[in-house]
Homo-oligomer: A and B are copies of this chain.
């Protein structure tokens, strides 16, 4: 008869896995993908390196999980803002601002998610998540066009442009320590996003 885990064992394993992902995310935020070793993560979690492999078959699999969790939270937050109250342009502006603010508040992790060289498995996740951002932006641009707040346009192209533009604008600021320029950056980036979507200049 095959060995079956008891509910208590499953709970214990799940808790340990969650803890491991949380610690790994902190390590990635602090030192980046390249410097994040299984040993460093195990040390941070207070377990043996071998125990990491009980939960993830490889460093790449752990990296993918870290990416999915952290990027997934950002997609979720952006989606909530873009689907929230307000007219489409207000929501677009607020979405860009919230996304950028969150990234700038957690620069190490945001840089890892958006830009830092990483193994191919993480690169593939990045492409997949950019698709989700594009879908969210396309929706709000379509609404803007439908309600006459934005001029007719190819919403898929605008959505891709917003996704690429926001990421690239943040690369340098995320790679540098926090400074006084954040408010200006947020204002400039929001203005840029509205301009790209063809919003009338205020």
Alpha-carbon distance A135/B171, docked complex (angstroms): 14
Cross-chain contact of A157 among B118, B126, B164, B189 (Cβ < 8 A): B189
Report the stretch among A42-50, A71-79, A85-93, A190-198 that lies at the interface. A190-198
On whether the beta carbons of B157 and A192 are closer than 8 Å, the reply is: yes
Task: Tell whether A115 is near chain B: CB-to-CB under 8 Å.
Answer: yes
On whether the beta carbons of A161 and B169 are closer than 8 Å, the reply is: yes
- A134-180 residues with Cβ-Cβ distance < 8 A to B are 134, 151, 153-154, 157-158, 160-169, 171-172
Give the residues in chain B near A191, CB-CB below 8 Å: 153
On whether the beta carbons of A130 and B168 are closer than 8 Å, the reply is: yes
Residues of A within 8 A of B (CB): 33-34, 115-124, 126-127, 130, 134, 151, 153-154, 157-158, 160-169, 171-172, 184-185, 188-189, 191-192, 195-196, 198, 201
On whether the beta carbons of A157 and B169 are closer than 8 Å, the reply is: yes
Give the residues in chain B near A188, CB-CB below 8 Å: 153-154, 157
